[in-house]
Amino acid sequence: MRFVYFTDNLFFFNTPQPDMERKQRGIVPRKIKGFRDIDPGLNSIRWHIIRSASEVYKLYGFEHWDTPALEYAENLGKYLPDTDTVEEGVYSFKNPEAEPVLTADGRELRDEWDHVVMENHFLSLRYDLTAPLARLYAENLWHESLKGNLATSKAPLFRRYQYGPVYRFEAKLDPGRFREFWQLDFDTVGSGSPAVDAETCAILAASMEAIGMPKGSFLVKVNNRKVLKGFLATLGILDENREQSVLRIIDKFDKIGVEGIFGELVNGRTDESGAVIPGLGMDASTAKKITGLFGMFTALQSRPETIENIKKTCGHNDMLEEGLSELSEIDQTLRSLGFGEDLILFDPTLVRGMAYYTGPVFEVVSNLQYTDEKGRQRKVGSVCGGGRYDGLVERLLNVKIPATGASIGVDRLAELLSLTGWSAKSPHGPVIVVVFDENMMPAYNKIAAGLRNAGISAEIYYGMQRGLKKQLSYADKKNCPFAIFLGEDELAKGVVTVKNLRLGREITEIADKEEWKKKVQSEVGLENIVAYIRDNL
């Protein structure tokens, strides 16, 4: 006989078994899906990306700011791709602390009995670094408005860069896509000039080269949302929700091609997995005009050629003309900055998923390939993105503030570099001081302190597994360049044995053990350890 019973919010089918204890809930050490532990190798690539790009940002005048990982959900807004509510795609929960509800002017809201209305506000982990930036800028501007200093026509210029983790509930975890990942942003708030958008593209290209991506391995693609909106308006697509639905489909161009776009615009399609993707129900003639335009740009053209071809095929309206004019100014600025079309090109199929973009949009696409577990050649695709978002601060403050910026997907780029066999020049680990005798710890400490005082990283082995092989295996895992051996006999003679672990890893072709030892091991006087290590690092 089987029946269901409940315990600690779990239920079990009761089947007579002698080892019923194994059915009880246990604690299993495991990671949440989409989250990772970052090992030293991947960390070295991550920090190489951050340091290299940050230096470029600083060259252009950006300053380093940070914002909290947790924000009021209402301040972050509803701007994730393919979502309509703040709960979708965002890690959100109610604040355990009840706080006052505020009116638009910042006062406490009171009920009919003059009691302060309290609420457990919704909080969200930031899903990018741009929405918190808008909150930061708007909050400072709001405080100025309380002092009567807010000038709506001349917003203060603010240029910052920031890096840190962001959080999204990604339903599909492709290679390089995670639910916690780091971004490295730079933004200019308070300027509506297309020259700033051009500068943003130039910074992205310069950052990729500074990171070590050679020319030809990446391309900065640029488009303008106004061109897309203007073109769709010429086809009678004026409703904002309808427009966003079409743009989401166009954004898949690189993945599903012209035929896939047509299918999703009209009656739907079936993807490779057999899943049925519903269509928008658009009439075939309108869908053909859309796919016909993007079919023209499957081969990338020069920036002026792209502008001219759009003019010839997209019709005319004010929105479209404004977008093309901005692209022309971006092209001129890029030329004056010395960034040619081998690095930055216009791509009319580029959409960018975030709904807050209002003008130029940018994306860095990698051409590097890797082989997956099934032996297939694959690309990670986009590793950076951004655009102009002139309405993000306005949503919070009802004041239109122009802004533009871009973000490097640090973990996505690090994963790409790792998958393709590229690695940043990894710094060596510490010099390891091997421990033979606890009674000699004062001598080991003195050696380690001398190295550290000279700016050389040093570690005394404190592990419980004291065998020499275990200690050297530990040193190899940490990429230690040298191991220092000191026993009672060496101490009596005033010397140590220094083993060059890095050289030992390189000369594996020497079969004779004694000959190999002569090359990698040296006897060094205690007073000469620092000089010897420094000269041979």
* Cα gap 481→479, rounded to integer Å: 6
Is the confidence at residue 503, as pLDDT, over 80?
yes
529: enclosing H helix or E strand: helix 529-536
**Contact (Cβ atoms closer than 8 angstroms) between residue 526 and residue 485:** no
Burial class of residue 267 (count of CB atoms within 10 Å of its CB; 0-12, 13-18, 19+): middle
**Per-residue pLDDT, 64:** 97
Structure-token pair, residue 14: 């009761």
Instruction: Determine the pLDDT at residue 345.
Output: 94
Q: By three-state DSSP, how is residue 158 classified?
A: strand
Confidence check: pLDDT of 392 > 90 = no
Residue 67: left if φ>0, alpha if ψ -120 to 50, beta else—which one? beta
Q: Where are the beta strands (DSSP E) in 410-528?
A: 431-433, 458-460, 482-485, 495-500, 521-525
At 93-115, the pLDDT tens digits run 899 999 999 988 889 999 999 99
Q: Binning pLDDT at 50, 70 and 90, where does residue 481 land?
A: very high
Q: How do the residues of the chain divide into helix, strand and coil, expressed in percent and rounded to 5?
A: 40, 20, 40
Which is more confident, 259 or 498? 498
Distance separating alpha carbons of residues 63 and 136, to the nearest angstrom? 14
Which two three-digit tokens encode residue 475?
Answer: 């040193």
Q: Do domains 1-194+396-418 and 431-536 have the same CATH topology?
A: no
The listed CATH number (1.25.40, 3.30.930, 3.40.720, 1.10.8) that belongs to domain 1-194+396-418:
3.30.930
Q: Which amino acid is at 328?
A: S
Element (H, E) at 276: strand 276-277
Domain spans of the chain? 1-194+396-418, 431-536
Query: What are all long-range contacts of 31-38, with beta carbons under 8 Å and residues at least 24 apart?
Result: 32/179, 33/173, 33/179, 34/169, 34/170, 34/173, 34/178, 34/179, 34/180, 35/178, 35/179, 35/180, 36/178, 36/180
What pTM was estimated for this model as a whole? 0.81
- Residue 154: what pLDDT? 74
Is the pLDDT assigned to residue 374 strictly greater than 90? no
Q: pLDDT, tens digit, for every residue of 185-233?
A: 999 999 999 999 999 999 999 999 999 888 889 999 999 999 989 999 9
Residues 6+ apart with CB under 8 A from 423: 41, 44, 45, 417
**230, 321 contact by CB (below 8 A):** yes
Q: Are strands 180-189 and 10-13 parallel, antiparallel or unpaired?
A: unpaired
Residue among 49, 44, 93 nearest 73 (CA): 93
Q: What's the maximum distance between 2 C-alpha atoms anywhere in the chain? A: 92
Q: For 235-294, what is each residue's pLDDT tens digit?
A: 888 888 888 888 888 888 878 888 888 998 999 888 887 788 888 999 999 999 888 877
Is the pLDDT score of 387 beyond 80? Answer: yes
177-181, 219-223, 416-420: which is most confident: 219-223
CATH architecture under which domain 431-536 falls: 3-Layer(aba) Sandwich (3.40)
Beta strand pairing status for 63-64 and 377-379?
A: unpaired
Q: Mean pLDDT score of the chain, rounded to an integer?
A: 86
Instruction: Give percent above pLDDT 70 in the chain.
Output: 90
Q: Give the contacts of 228 (CB within 8 A, at least 6 positions apart).
A: 247, 250, 323, 348, 351
